[in-house]
Amino acid sequence: MYLAMNRFTVLTDNAAAFEELWLSRESRLQDMDGFVSFHMLKGPEAEGRILYASHTVWQSEAHFRAWTTSAAFRQAHSGAGQTRQLYEGAPTFEGFESIQEIDALSST
């Protein structure tokens, strides 16, 4: 399992517009090979800013890398230039390889 996370710092005044951008988009993630799940996470607020993180789980890093070179990725980001004023600077990307997994339904 591979987790791709992108963090956005958003002024509280822009939070509603930022959330609407994500909630109204047409996602094609479910069409992608190796896609497992997506969450847009709203984190803590401090000094007038809210931390958001997009959190996408893939079966493997190779599946994630294939998505980043796909037409679906380009399409998902084609409008990103117009919405850059909603968050500060560039988003911060972090990729994680899972080394242990425990979930409620798995037997140990």
Mark residues 53-92: x for contact with ligand HEM by CB under 6 A, - for none: -x-x-----------x-------xx-xx--xx-----xx-
Give the separation between CA 24 and CA 68, rounded to whole angstroms: 21
Max intra-chain CA distance, the chain: 48
Dihedral of alpha carbons 19, 20, 21, 23, sign: positive
Tell me: does residue 28 bind ligand HEM (CB under 6 A).
yes
Would you state the structure tokens that stand for residue 7, as one six-digit string? 């963090």
Among 25, 33, 41, 45, binds ligand HEM (CB under 6 A): 25
Binding site for ligand HEM (CB under 6 A): 4, 6, 21, 25, 27-29, 38, 54, 56, 68, 76-77, 79-80, 83-84, 90-91, 93
